[in-house]
Structure 1
């Protein structure tokens, strides 16, 4: 896969020349040109590392917004653009992935902001299947944290190129060499500093750009997006060394040590996901944001080939393909709508086009697709590989669904994870039962939680989640979006496993003997609900022909 990617990236121009000789010359040329302009990436980090703030500033410097919101400034009515759910505005945390598209330097940027909190890791994992690169934000004071480790492991599964931004240098933080060493030793990825800090906290003077041999001066306060950062070269750097001798000498000693260890930037290693270019800055002060945007445009890969159950799909192919990686209910509270977020993998989307829904085999008309700025949307008339489009969904689309212009294929790698916590919703008003069922079904479809229907008591669904905060978010959304006041009570279940068996009669026997412990998920697959690890092991021993799965891919029918 790695060698194929290197071949693909290096030979993009040659590929376009070959396509130009095909029958559909004009259309193919247009697709190749548009694909090369796309950059699709996610921002990942542990909570409170400054991820959402950096998202805001990238939008600001990209010209997508005029004024960045502040997560802390809730009294003034300002909040992060990407945090659009009411509960996000109240708590100042991201609980749902957001998609934002803007243009910078003739590149179309698709930016996906992900929840940092571990309770929403499943949503983040799905988003990472839809991107071609990632920006990892590290708190310079705290270094590598637990959620960052988990997210980078997911990126490593697909060799996703990673750009590292070490944030909060305007504070008293750890020594940069120490943070760099921790990233390399814990995350097992080589670091190649592109900028290096000059001091920290109140003594923070800016950064030295190793590739350009320049000093970028830091000025406290939020610089405006159109305002140029003061750049020093040659004798001006020597003058700064006289003003700040200690900080400049430390910077020179450290960069000499780093470069002597062979940590120079290598584009090929970056594209293979083996090396990460490192930038230092202060997101809240807009310092270092331009350099991240520049790196994404210059170094991040355009849309990559995608693996399916049949073959690799190249982004420059003329036939349209795409997959749904997220569904969001009630983005517009006035219309109670549902939007399916789709990653375009090849070809060109055009309004009104007809596609084949792979799971059902039915034809669909794609009309009025939208592009996003968090929950704000604009109608999109065309889209290309790498773009994230929103498709109005009336219940026919699920996470993992594939839409194509005819070819039967399924994109790989969009998993369900077995929940670790289970609850049942108890209504305060029994007359709201229908609204509860509708709300849970729609929130289950979008992946906010997993909803299981027990075989014995179909009227009392089970809600499964990875973390407790998911239940709190669903409780809040049920009340705000569906008018349902409910509380969640623990169900006494420790874990779930999806089950299947190649012997249909044996599976039927298993189902009959275990009805009280079985439920069906949103796709109608059987799941075994165990109240303890001992119970699960006993079931596996008693039914050796039955397979128990801790994960399954979306759209994969197990039973």
Structure 2
């Protein structure tokens, strides 16, 4: 096996590449049984805004480390596509849809890599990848800079305290301006960032980089940039390099005490001291090193790999906590935290987190990050949520859609299991008595819905199988049946999200589907506090029903208008405490469908102040119905409004189309929050209701000759326009009383 692989690499072009690839791959082949020290492991993710070059960067990393022997482009002419875009839809569209995991070796260090999508519709893929990774590479386009999805990814990194490196890509593009991108990193993302590299030329003249710390120029030569030639810094860049070095020392010394002391003593730190300070500050998320390059032109990727080894944490430098099993069920602040031991040995108990599910050729494939202990093939594991026991028949490590069998995995590893029935976010242990769970993954709520049904009613079985698989794999993709409208509703993060799954149903299950007009997730909320006093009383011989509730329904502040809060303020025994949960149950059940438009109720606080019970007739159902009656009462006497989701929209297009684009935003009643223009391109940031954004994609393409692009993400809920509210009320009344509406039309 080893001889065949080395022989294959010996035909690669470039002598240095031959040696590197053979050496790394020969080392790499043994990783199935070889267990690296913790210091020799890195778990990193590659994240960015769409079309910043994440997958191309990953392709170059795999090539230079000898993991693959040929490079292919994301939108290549050879119909092969990038390694990590293994799905046929990804290759056709030239975008990443699913996060893909792989592992490779660079300078005797094992690097686990997850390539994530850049489109906001697939943001949960980024979310669950960052949840289990120790570090991240934030890829930025040298022209686009910090864009909307960059900000989302940055928030996700902050949520899970993931340290990151910034890699400014595409320096060969027209209008490339890394200095502007660095300024945006500081002003928009509030990163304490500084250059570790400087570009030698820009756009078509980009030929290499200057290493600011080592103070030398690096040129990437050979057919694939595999030969790195070191040279002196060009004469005209020496002063710029010195200024950049001083700026780097200043930024790091502001957040690192040891370097700060050297700086205050006006001493010059050694290279080792500066690199150690950068590492310390990066691990604390107090500094972001900025590297430069062009992955497509094969420049700057090897120094990026060196920086991953130098500045990214190994698993022992990251503190991961589990919670006691009982504590995870309790919403109180007093959760019992248990620090996971990162030691790679069989002495500690195994604990792992299932962060992604995928339907493989041999059943469900469960991606697991090992946080503690060791797991062997053939061992029994227990799901801490369900208590279910499962034997592991097969243990693999992933390389995109390819699997490589291993016999055991240790703390810090990312692996995949077969034959495990679980949900995304479940924790596993090998000791049944070890009742702990890792913190689960944050899952955003869907913001768009469309009706969906099979084209042919005979395909209902295929449709059911597809729905069961996709909803299990993707927690942001929901399918539910609307009883009132008698239609199946698909909910997701955007039009592209739902469209992709519709296409996958046809391709993978032979079940073409028909999608209806998108339905926005509107909400109903009360405008001002409203008092209620409702008595539910029913007597039909024998024991009846009796329940009375008194209190107030109040609106929540705008920043909490997606919540529904129940508050028990009763004093005494007028309402027995045993009935309080049933009053809450009735209130929350009513909130699932409001009276105004049939949408969910949110942004309300139900304050139960008093009530009344009967010794014989009061029971659970009495108080459930009393709470629902009280809510109906607030619709009669209170003022209600409809809330709609507002999206943060970012539009980028050539300056010549600025007027027509701004006009289109204003036509959709959007609020422009900021504009930016650089070298022939402009960027507009606006807040627009999701209901007004349908069809904007095709209009933008037509008005900008196909050059404009936009992205949007959920921002908040806000009161809808009066005409929209009235339209929704009329539609709801029409659906409730179709016969009356038909009579009106006849008259």
Scaled to the shorter chain, the TM-score interval is 0.7 to 0.9
1:51 aligns with one of 49, 54, 58: 54
Name which of structure 1's ranges 261-270 and 203-212 shifts more when overlaid on structure 2: 261-270
Whether the aligned pair in 1 keeps the contact of 2:564 and 2:603 (CA below 8 Å) is no
Whether the aligned pair in 2 keeps the contact of 1:136 and 1:165 (CA below 8 Å) is yes
1:402 aligns with one of 423, 427, 451: 427
Aligned to 2:73: 70
1:487 aligns with one of 491, 504, 514: 514
Aligned to 1:318: 348
Residues of 2 paired with 1:205 and 1:220: CA distance?
A: 13
1:443 aligns with one of 461, 470, 473: 470
| CA displacement at 1:140 relative to structure 2 | 0.9
Residues of 1 paired with 2:407 and 2:35: CA distance?
A: 18
Summarize the alignment of residues 97-108 of structure 1 with structure 2, pairs less than 5 Å apart.
Answer: 97-108=99-110
Query: 1:103–1:539: structure 2 CA closer, same or farther, 3 Å change rule?
Result: same
With a CA cutoff of 8 Å and minimum separation of 6, indicate the structure with the bigger relative contact order.
1
Residues of 2 paired with 1:495 and 1:123: CA distance?
A: 25
| CA displacement at 1:218 relative to structure 2 | 4.4
The CA deviation string for residues 95-153 of structure 1, in whole angstroms up to 9 with x for no partner, is 11000012222222110000001111122111110100000111111211110111011
Residues of 2 paired with 1:109 and 1:133: CA distance?
A: 11
Residues of 2 paired with 1:536 and 1:530: CA distance?
A: 13
Aligned to 1:342: 368
2:127 aligns with one of 125, 128, 131: 125
Aligned to 1:255: 244
Asked which structure has the greater CA Rg, the reply is 2
| CA displacement at 1:444 relative to structure 2 | 0.4
The CA deviation string for residues 30-51 of structure 1, in whole angstroms up to 9 with x for no partner, is 9996333221110011111111
Aligned to 2:638: none
The CA deviation string for residues 373-407 of structure 1, in whole angstroms up to 9 with x for no partner, is 1001111211122222111246x211011101221
- SS for the counterpart of 1:301 is coil
Query: 1:455–1:359: structure 2 CA closer, same or farther, 3 Å change rule?
Result: farther
Q: Are residue 212 (structure 1) and residue 189 (structure 2) matched? A: no
Aligned to 1:202: 204
- SS for the counterpart of 2:247 is helix
The CA deviation string for residues 391-442 of structure 1, in whole angstroms up to 9 with x for no partner, is 1246x21101110122111111402221101123121110111211111111
Whether the aligned pair in 1 keeps the contact of 2:136 and 2:164 (CA below 8 Å) is yes
Summarize the alignment of residues 233-312 of structure 1 with structure 2, pairs less than 5 Å apart.
Answer: 236-237=232-233, 240-241=234-235, 245=236, 248=237, 251-252=240-241, 255=244, 258-259=247-248, 261-263=250-252, 266-303=278-315, 304-310=318-324, 311-312=338-339
Summarize the alignment of residues 375-524 of structure 1 with structure 2, pairs less than 5 Å apart.
Answer: 375-393=401-419, 396-406=421-431, 407-447=434-474, 449-454=476-481, 456=483, 461-490=488-517, 492-494=519-521, 503-510=580-587, 513=590
Unmatched 5+ stretches in structure 2: 1-32, 253-273, 325-337, 524-561, 569-579, 609-626, 632-644, 646-747
Whether the aligned pair in 1 keeps the contact of 2:215 and 2:241 (CA below 8 Å) is no
Query: 1:429–1:164: structure 2 CA closer, same or farther, 3 Å change rule?
Result: same
Whether the aligned pair in 2 keeps the contact of 1:456 and 1:516 (CA below 8 Å) is no
Query: 1:96–1:467: structure 2 CA closer, same or farther, 3 Å change rule?
Result: same
Residues of 2 paired with 1:94 and 1:399: CA distance?
A: 20
Residues of 1 paired with 2:605 and 2:483: CA distance?
A: 19
Name which of structure 1's ranges 305-314 and 399-408 shifts more when overlaid on structure 2: 305-314
Query: 1:142–1:531: structure 2 CA closer, same or farther, 3 Å change rule?
Result: farther
Residues of 2 paired with 1:257 and 1:107: CA distance?
A: 31
| CA displacement at 1:460 relative to structure 2 | 5.1
| CA displacement at 1:59 relative to structure 2 | 0.8
Aligned to 1:86: 88
Whether the aligned pair in 1 keeps the contact of 2:354 and 2:366 (CA below 8 Å) is yes
The alignment yields a C-alpha RMSD, in angstroms, of: 3.2
The CA deviation string for residues 163-202 of structure 1, in whole angstroms up to 9 with x for no partner, is 1111112233344332212111111111132221122123
Whether the aligned pair in 1 keeps the contact of 2:376 and 2:408 (CA below 8 Å) is yes
Whether the aligned pair in 2 keeps the contact of 1:98 and 1:374 (CA below 8 Å) is yes
Query: 1:34–1:350: structure 2 CA closer, same or farther, 3 Å change rule?
Result: farther
Whether the aligned pair in 2 keeps the contact of 1:177 and 1:254 (CA below 8 Å) is no
Residues of 2 paired with 1:109 and 1:391: CA distance?
A: 20
| CA displacement at 1:510 relative to structure 2 | 3.9
The CA deviation string for residues 453-493 of structure 1, in whole angstroms up to 9 with x for no partner, is 45847995432211111111101111111111102224635
| CA displacement at 1:364 relative to structure 2 | 1.4
- SS for the counterpart of 2:390 is strand
Q: State how many pairs are aligned.
A: 488
The CA deviation string for residues 46-87 of structure 1, in whole angstroms up to 9 with x for no partner, is 1111111001011111211111111121x4122011101111
The CA deviation string for residues 295-345 of structure 1, in whole angstroms up to 9 with x for no partner, is 21222111133222232212227211111111112x44xx5x321111111
Query: 1:273–1:262: structure 2 CA closer, same or farther, 3 Å change rule?
Result: closer
The CA deviation string for residues 484-529 of structure 1, in whole angstroms up to 9 with x for no partner, is 11022246351587979795422543466567679xxxxxxxxxx9
Residues of 2 paired with 1:200 and 1:63: CA distance?
A: 29
Aligned to 1:142: 144
Residues of 1 paired with 2:565 and 2:521: CA distance?
A: 20
Whether the aligned pair in 2 keeps the contact of 1:43 and 1:51 (CA below 8 Å) is yes
Residues of 2 paired with 1:397 and 1:430: CA distance?
A: 31
- SS for the counterpart of 2:217 is strand
1:222 aligns with one of 213, 221, 224: 224
Whether the aligned pair in 2 keeps the contact of 1:321 and 1:403 (CA below 8 Å) is yes
Residues of 1 paired with 2:515 and 2:499: CA distance?
A: 8
Residues of 1 paired with 2:449 and 2:605: CA distance?
A: 19
Residues of 2 paired with 1:492 and 1:202: CA distance?
A: 47
The CA deviation string for residues 345-377 of structure 1, in whole angstroms up to 9 with x for no partner, is 111121011111111112111221211110011
Residues of 2 paired with 1:417 and 1:299: CA distance?
A: 31
Unmatched 5+ stretches in structure 1: 1-29, 519-528, 551-559
| CA displacement at 1:253 relative to structure 2 | 6.6
Residues of 1 paired with 2:131 and 2:370: CA distance?
A: 12
- SS for the counterpart of 1:463 is strand
Whether the aligned pair in 2 keeps the contact of 1:31 and 1:384 (CA below 8 Å) is no
Whether the aligned pair in 2 keeps the contact of 1:193 and 1:278 (CA below 8 Å) is yes
